[in-house]
Amino acid sequence: DAGVIQSPRHEVTEMGQEVTLRCKPISGHDYLFWYRQTMMRGLELLIYFNNNVPIDDSGMPEDRFSAKMPNASFSTLKIQPSEPRDSAVYFCASRQGPLGNTIYFGEGSWLTVV
């Protein structure tokens, strides 16, 4: 079975540009999570969805960040405008059902803002 698929794997962009990260969760999974990983702060939960509905976006750092999930098989995380401090690895992850079940992570999108 295909795992969580993220694109792009690597992105280098200039400060001020819009960045869109994409995610396809595992088919049948009803929870989708966006995490950000940095050396300084580790792995932070940005937002999560349940059945395509955003449930908790309290981890989104500021209004420049937005996320959508228009259907069960696709989600985007957008940064507009991007800043150098947004440079990080962004992971999408999905899970089927209850809390104790396994979260499956994508391979990450490595973002560098110069």
Partner 1 sequence: AQSVTQLGSHVSVSEGALVLLRCNYSSSVPPYLFWYVQYPNQGLQLLLKYTSAATLVKGINGFEAEFKKSETSFHLTKPSAHMSDAAEYFCAVSDQRGYQKVTFGIGTKLQVIP
CB of 13 to partner 1, least distance (A): 20
Q: Residue 16: exposed, middle, or buried by beta-carbon count in 10 A (0-12, 13-18, 19+)?
A: exposed
**In the range 78-97, which residues lie near partner 1 by CB under 8 A?**
91, 93
- What one-character-per-residue DSSP string does 81-98 give? S--GGG-EEEEEEEE-SS
Of 7, 20, 87, 105, the residue at the interface with partner 1 (CB under 8 A) is 105
Torsion sign across C-alpha atoms 51, 57, 59, 65: positive
Q: Does 74 bind partner 1 (CB under 8 A)?
A: no
Q: Does 25 bind partner 1 (CB under 8 A)?
A: no
Phi, psi (deg, nearest 5) at residue 102: -75, 135
Q: Does 55 bind partner 1 (CB under 8 A)?
A: yes
Residue pair 37/100 in contact by the 8 Å Cβ criterion: no
- Which is closer to partner 1, CB of 17 or CB of 101? 101
Of 14, 18, 56, 83, the residue at the interface with partner 1 (CB under 8 A) is 56
> What residues make contact with partner 1 under the rule CB under 8 A?
4, 31, 35, 42-43, 45, 48, 50, 55-56, 91, 93, 99-100, 102-108
